[in-house]
């Protein structure tokens, strides 16, 4: 699948969850704004007690926030999967039909009436619902933990005499604005940010459904050969296979087996976060569509793309901080956050000017 097309498909899903994350952090900030008169060295423990008493109120607000977006996320995911899966099939149906007419392949049912294709789509839709229900539960739990962490760390800093109450609240709130709400805590204890995890999930799902439906469709036709898509900036374990033809059956006398590639490795071809898709290739009918890229050019583009995504995240983090400081009502915090937004946007402008890459303003937004 074309990387730009894949990005366009995944953006609505990512935007829904970034909006959820933003609202959860604002719910936290709005409650932290209360009882500001107690935020003094003498009143800090009373402030802590009053804030802790609002924990259930925060939970209810966050449940409402997540429920408000739940339907949007399901609709966006469903549309993404259907476009990624069925959209990829339509591109190749003409060549497959021609191969049937020439006696090279067997006749297959129409795409719309294929029970096998429908089964693949339903499986991915169910998987998506389970995954995002788990994400919602994690976001709800982690937003509670963030609220408790901000309160307890603020009190700890004040009692230790290391900072003023307002400075302590600003520091801890800023830390979580930078970090965001984790959407996954994996088995190793690593916390995945909402942006990173949702991007990884939707990218993998859209590619997996496209590849699995291609495999299913080729099985229906009895097709063996596949062409690997290509794009500039591919990962090292994928780059050398771009634009090449492989045999799924391992029995073709001319083309190597797909299993001889990095296929099956987490960071390999069609692995986690991979953007490559395989397409049916019929000798004498299908024209080679994709090409390979010079290794040095590919490496340079890949590194620049990673740097740009880092700069985009930094801008979003500064904007989150600004929104949280505004909700809390911290004038000095607002001033500093605005300065960080300007500085990080300036860094991005310098990067774009130096590399000639296009700027993706939508990836710098938080809602």
* β-bridge partners, 192: 184
E-assigned strand segments in 160-247: 182-185, 191-193, 225-228, 245-247
CA distance 26 to 133: 21
Among 282, 222, 286, 289, which residue's Cα sits nearest to residue 249? 222
- DSSP-derived letter for residue 41 is T
Asked if the model's pLDDT at residue 367 lies above 70, the reply is no
If you average pLDDT over every residue of the chain, what do you get? Answer: 89
Q: CB under 8 Å to 193, separation ≥6 — which residues?
A: 179, 180, 181, 182, 183
Structure confidence by residue, pLDDT tens digits, 100-153: 999 999 999 999 999 999 999 999 999 999 999 999 999 999 999 999 999 999
Can you tell me whether residue 199 is helix, strand or coil? Answer: helix
Strands (DSSP E) contained in 102-187 are 182-185
CA atoms of 183 and 29, how far apart (whole Å): 19
Q: Tell me the pLDDT tens digit for each residue of 159-210.
A: 999 899 999 999 999 999 999 999 999 889 999 999 889 988 988 888 889 8
SS3 58: helix
Record the pTM: 0.83
Residue 164, sorted as left (phi over 0), alpha (psi -120 to 50) or beta, turns out to be beta
How sure is the predictor about 3, in pLDDT bands with cuts at 50, 70 and 90? very low
Q: Tens digit of pLDDT for each residue in 36-73?
A: 889 999 999 999 999 999 999 999 999 999 999 988 88
């Amino acid at each position: 699948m074309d990387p730009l097309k894949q990005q366009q498909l995944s953006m609505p899903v990512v935007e829904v969850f970034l909006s959820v994350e933003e609202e959860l952090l604002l719910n936290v900030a709005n409650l932290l704004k209360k009882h500001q008169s107690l935020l003094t060295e003498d009143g800090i423990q009373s402030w802590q007690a009053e804030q802790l008493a609002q924990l259930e109120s925060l939970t209810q607000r966050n449940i409402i926030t997540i429920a408000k977006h739940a339907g949007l996320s399901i609709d966006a995911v469903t549309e993404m999967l259907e476009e990624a899966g069925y959209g990829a099939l339509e591109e190749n149906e003409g060549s497959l039909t021609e191969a049937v007419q020439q006696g090279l392949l067997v006749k297959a049912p129409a795409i719309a009436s294929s029970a096998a294709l429908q089964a693949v789509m339903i499986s991915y839709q169910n998987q998506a619902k389970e995954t995002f229900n788990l994400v919602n539960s994690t976001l709800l739990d982690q937003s509670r933990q963030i609220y408790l962490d901000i309160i307890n760390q603020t009190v700890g800093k004040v009692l230790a005499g290391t900072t003023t109450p307002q400075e302590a609240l600003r520091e801890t709130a800023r830390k979580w604005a930078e970090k965001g709400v984790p959407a996954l805590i994996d088995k190793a204890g690593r916390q995945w940010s909402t942006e990173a995890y949702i991007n990884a999930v939707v990218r993998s799902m859209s590619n997996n459904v496209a590849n699995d439906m291609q495999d299913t469709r080729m099985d229906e036709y009895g097709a063996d050969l596949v062409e690997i898509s290509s794009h500039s900036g591919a990962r090292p374990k994928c780059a050398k296979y771009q634009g090449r033809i492989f045999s799924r059956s391992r029995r073709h006398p001319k083309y190597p087996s797909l299993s001889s590639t990095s296929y099956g490795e987490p960071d390999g071809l069609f692995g986690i976060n991979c953007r490559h898709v395989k397409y049916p290739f019929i000798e004498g009918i299908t024209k080679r569509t994709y090409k390979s890229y010079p290794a040095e050019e590919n490496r340079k583009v890949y590194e620049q793309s990673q740097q740009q995504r880092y700069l985009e995240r930094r801008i979003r983090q500064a904007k989150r901080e600004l929104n949280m400081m505004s909700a809390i009502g911290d004038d000095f915090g607002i001033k500093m956050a605005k300065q960080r937004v300007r500085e990080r946007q300036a860094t991005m402008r310098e990067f774009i000017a130096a590399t000639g890459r296009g700027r993706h303003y939508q990836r710098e937004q938080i809602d």
